[in-house]
Structure formats: structure tokens, C-alpha cells
Amino acid sequence: DAMVIQNPRYQVTQFGKPVTLSCSQTLNHNVMYWYQQKSSQAPKLLFHYYDKDFNNEADTPDNFQSRRPNTSFCFLDIRSPGLGDAAMYLCATSRRLTSGSGYTQYFGPGTRLTVL
């Protein structure tokens, strides 16, 4: 089945130790998103790629970086994780449609990051 896959599902890292989360998709969608979701809060968009074009949200900390080497894969790098970065990280994809017609975002299962 076409889907959005995230690895690992659970990640434990130490304070300040770089970590990379991965996302892959078989939907061949143009757009890939990374969200951060803390407990009992709505997901917060960190950045998204439209094809190779990177779009960073204004309030995304510099500590968060992303790479999209090809259509199928997107990575989230956290350079120096702090305790406040412990969260669920959600990847999503969508096929970009013309304005006014909307689209559906397809979400992965998420990676739960713990920072010790």
C-alpha cells in the first residue's frame, strides 16, 4: 500500500547529541512536511519542501534542519537536542493542487523523541 513511513518510531537521545529522523513516502507527492507535536498540543509546522524548494517557518529554531535528497525521502536533523525538543515528530505529504481546490495531507505514524 502507498504510505508514509517514519523511522524510527521511538528515538532516545542524550542532551546535545545530534539525532536524525527519517521519513519516506511511496505516494510520489511533491510536498513533504515536518511537524512537531508536544503533549496535548496541536501539531506545529517546522518546515516543508515543495519538490526541492525548502520553506522554513519563521519561528523554527536553527537547531532544526531538514534534507530532501529525492522525492521519496526527507530527513529531520536536530543538531543539539534540548529537553524542550522532546516531542512527537510527524511527517506528512501532499500533492500540491491549484489554489482553491485544497488537497489532503497524508501523515506518517510519527517518531516519539525522548531527550535524556
Partner 1 sequence: KNEVEQSPQNLTAQEGEFITINCSYSVGISALHWLQQHPGGGIVSLFMLSSGKKKHGRLIATINIQEKHSSLHITASHPRDSAVYICAVSRNYGGSQGNLIFGKGTKLSVKP
Q: For residues 96 and 108, what is the distance between their CA atoms, to the nearest angstrom?
A: 18
Smallest distance from partner 1 to CB 17, Å: 24
Q: Is 24 in the site for partner 1 (CB under 8 A)?
A: no
Q: What residues have CB less than 8 Å from 70, skipping those under 6 apart?
A: none
Selected from 26, 28, 55, 80, the binder of partner 1 by CB under 8 A is 55
Q: Is 48 in the site for partner 1 (CB under 8 A)?
A: yes
Q: What residues have CB less than 8 Å from 49, skipping those under 6 apart?
A: 31, 32, 33, 55, 66, 68, 74
Chain residues binding partner 1 by CB under 8 A are 6, 31, 33, 41-43, 45, 48, 50, 55, 90, 92, 94, 96, 99-110, 112
